């Protein structure tokens, strides 16, 4: 069995540029499908995994990962014809009806999310292979979850996926055990901590979905107490461990949704003019970053405390872009909430290539995937 996993949405930025031609380069970065990658899983374990950016020198690229695919095949010494299944770390088909309400959303589904787009890319590069029955769409957060749980070494664990968004959700909590992955709680994309952090990243003059690590690195230079309460006003913690973020309701138009201009206007009214990317960093910027980081930590601990009580699990696995925030990860580790924890090193969307392949392997052979080697 040779299962190839891929990540990325090759047509996402192309769609945005076509239908929203007047946006800025930084606003075109606000899209799903970056960090394309490929991974190959066989009966003997993980044969290869690599991000497309490593081979084409384009950081965070959303291009179809053809070079990564060829690299994985070469490492395993197999031909494209020997691929048993191809797993893609997005599955928008179950949500297709939600895109039928207006014409632009219909175009978005047809041009970006329809699995036929992935099949077209495969047929373009590997025309001699019949991909009709080989392509499997794996729900985004299940791909993240598989990437974290199966390599963890834990027999059972709580799995928490937090990112910008998958198909419809921004947080999915699961329990992983020998029988598979079982969802226990979700938070919709409209209340995304990952997007909140990303919008503040934009406000501070950095790139959304790319430079959040810079904000994390800026935070230790600031005073978290100065803006913690003001930023926390944007997040309402609920007794069940979840949260809502009414701030996103300030995005009134479709263009606002694509750019977060409505939210950025609200931040400007509260904190002042957004920083220009070339402007100097001030103490205020550092204090905002510190406050934001503290809010993220508070929300994650609030969520995890509830999920631990609900699941009864002693071990934690994490993935999703928010799990790349190593400062928060350190806070969780030092809290001693869990006996041990495993965070997928490729916690971003590149890791869903591996996770999608592992998920399909588990479905085809109902036992824990072998990760030898």
Shared domain for 100 and 130, answered yes or no, is yes
- What's residue 300's pLDDT? 98
Same domain, 195 and 126: no
pLDDT score of 227 more than 50: yes
Residue 367 pLDDT > 90: no
Number of domains observed in the structure of the chain: 2
- Over residues 32-44, mean pLDDT: 96
Section 10-28 average pLDDT: 95
- Check whether residue 163 and residue 302 sit in a common domain: yes
> What domain range includes position 172?
154-343
Beta strands in the chain, from DSSP E residues, in sequence order: 2-7, 37-42, 45-51, 85-88, 135-137, 157-162, 169-177, 180-188, 236-237, 243-244, 315-319, 340-343
Q: What is the pLDDT of residue 373?
A: 44
Where on the phi/psi map is residue 247: left (φ > 0), alpha (ψ -120 to 50), or beta? alpha
241 has a pLDDT exceeding 80: yes
pLDDT tens digit sequence for 169-190: 999 999 999 999 999 999 999 9
CB half-sphere exposure, 187, CA atoms < 13 A: 28
Q: What is the mean pLDDT of the chain?
A: 96
Residue 171's pLDDT is 99
Q: What is the pLDDT of residue 307?
A: 98
Asked if 294 contacts 220 with a C-beta cutoff of 8 angstroms, the reply is: no
| Whether the predicted pLDDT of 215 surpasses 90 | yes
Percent of the chain with pLDDT over 70: 98
Pair (241, 283) in one structural domain: yes
Q: Within this chain, do residues 120 and 167 fall inside the same structural domain, yes or no?
A: no
Output the CA–CA distances (angstroms, integers) from residue 171 to 154, 252, 316, 318, 339, in the order listed.
21, 23, 15, 11, 22
Are residues 167 and 306 both part of a single domain?
A: yes
pLDDT in tens, 258-308: 999 999 999 999 999 999 999 999 999 999 999 999 999 999 999 999 999
């Amino acid at each position: 069995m040779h299962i190839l996993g891929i990540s990325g949405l090759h047509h996402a930025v192309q769609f945005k540029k076509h239908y929203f031609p007047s946006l800025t380069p930084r606003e075109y970065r606000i899209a799903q499908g970056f960090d394309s990658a490929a991974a190959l899983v066989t009966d003997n374990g993980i044969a290869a995994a690599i991000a497309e950016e490593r081979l084409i020198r384009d950081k965070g690229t959303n291009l179809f990962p053809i070079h990564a695919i060829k690299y994985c095949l070469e490492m395993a010494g197999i031909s494209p014809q020997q691929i048993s299944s191809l797993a893609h770390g997005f599955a928008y088909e179950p949500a297709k009806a939600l895109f039928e309400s207006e014409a632009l959303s219909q175009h978005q589904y047809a041009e970006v999310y329809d699995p036929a787009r992935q099949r077209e890319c495969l047929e373009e590069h590997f025309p001699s292979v019949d991909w009709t029955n080989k392509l499997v769409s794996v729900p985004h957060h299940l791909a993240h979850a598989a990437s974290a749980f199966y390599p963890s070494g834990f027999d059972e664990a709580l799995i928490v996926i937090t990112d910008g968004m998958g198909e419809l959700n921004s947080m999915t909590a699961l329990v992983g055990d020998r029988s598979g992955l079982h969802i226990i709680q979700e938070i919709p994309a409209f209340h995304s901590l990952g997007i909140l952090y990303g919008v503040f990243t934009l406000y501070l003059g950095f790139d959304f979905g790319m430079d959040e690590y810079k904000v994390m690195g800026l935070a230790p230079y600031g005073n978290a107490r100065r803006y913690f309460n003001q930023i926390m006003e944007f997040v309402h913690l609920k007794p069940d461990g979840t949260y809502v973020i009414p701030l996103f309701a300030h995005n009134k138009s479709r263009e606002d949704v694509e750019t977060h201009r409505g939210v950025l206007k609200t931040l400007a009214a509260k904190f002042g003019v957004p920083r220009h990317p070339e402007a100097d960093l001030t103490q205020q910027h550092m204090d905002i970053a510190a406050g934001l980081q503290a809010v993220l930590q508070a929300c994650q601990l609030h969520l995890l405390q509830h999920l631990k009580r609900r699941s009864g699990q002693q071990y934690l696995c994490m993935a999703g872009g928010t799990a790349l925030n190593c400062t928060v990860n350190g806070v969780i580790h030092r809290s001693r909430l869990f006996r041990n924890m495993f965070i997928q090193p490729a916690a971003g969307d590149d890791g869903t290539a591996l996770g999608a392949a592992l998920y399909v392997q588990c479905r085809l052979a109902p036992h824990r995937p072998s990760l030898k080697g």
